Amino acid sequence: MRLEPMLFRGRALCVTGEERGVPHEIPVEPERELVSCSWIALGNCHSEIRRGPSHQDIEPPDSNYPRLENQTLVSLAGFREAFPSIPGVAPPSVMNTVDVLNFGPDFGPQGGIEAVLPPIHGRRYTALVPRPDADGTGMAGIKTMWTRAPIGTNVGWNVRAGFRAPDLCSLSGSFIPFAKTKAERLANGDSRRSLEERYQSHAGFVRAVTKAANELVKERFLLEEDAKAFIDAAQTSDVLR
């Protein structure tokens, strides 16, 4: 399945000698949307700062980061419970944690003398993660093209295989493609909707990408020239052909 510049697919990058990460395919997100979002985000900040008679009064987009209040920020157990059923994919069972360390009475927030080594481990900070949706993608955050018109699940983690399992695989992410048809996903035990269920046809996929591109431009997360590039890529892709 080829779709440029929407998605470039590669193998897991976590490879050290005989140790390899679980080989889910990972998207190397093209620079186009990232640069576009960066420039527009800078423009949003610029619009917020330069207010006055000669400048249009433009508010920046609303923040959409995960929060406890709307339950888009959850514990690791909550994440695992909400993660969809995907054949061959198990969500992380461990995460990085941070403890309060006691280096002695002469060491404070600004530093000092480390009289107690190794330090005494105190209470553990609460660590929370974004809640996944039915596709396994974080519910909060900026919805990019890859989440508005997806062809698979993109996550920011990859789990190590071998003797270091189940540690996370450094900064590597994963891409898990959707089944093409409903029959295929049911046979595989995949709870995520198939491409066919989402878009019905190639033309339906192009319409979804077009809608997403127009929304991103309107919300000032994508430049018009880049929106056109996404639409052109969808039209020439082999998705549901």
CB distance 7 to 151 below 8 Å: yes
pLDDT-based confidence at residue 40 (cuts at 50, 70, 90): low
Q: What is the pLDDT of residues 185-194, one digit of tens each?
A: 999 999 999 9
User: Which pLDDT value is given to residue 27?
Assistant: 40
**What six digits make up the tokens of 221?**
């997360």
Rounded CA-CA distance 85/222 in Å is: 32
The one-letter amino acid code at 197 reads E
CB distance 221 to 40 below 8 Å: yes
Name the residue with higher pLDDT: 58 or 219. 219
- Peptide linkage before 30 cis (omega within 30 of 0): no
Q: What is the pLDDT of residues 131-167, one digit of tens each?
A: 999 999 999 998 999 999 999 999 999 988 888 888 8
